Amino acid sequence: MPALRKALIRRAREIIQDPACWTQSAAARDQLQRAISPRSNDAKKYCAIGALDKAAQERGLSDRWLVELFSVLTLSQVIRVNDSQDHSAILALLDQLEKEM
Regions of the chain short of the pLDDT cut 50: none
- Give residue 52's pLDDT: 98
The torsion defined by the Cα of 30, 33, 34 and 38, in degrees rounded to 10, comes to 40
CA angle 11, 13, 18 (to 5 degrees): 120
Whole-prediction pTM: 0.94
Report helix, strand and coil shares of the chain as percent, to nearest 5: 60, 5, 30
Sheet with 35-36: list strands edge to edge: 35-36, 28-29, 45-46
- Give residue 101's pLDDT: 73
Q: Beta strands of the chain (E only): which ranges? A: 28-29, 35-36, 45-46
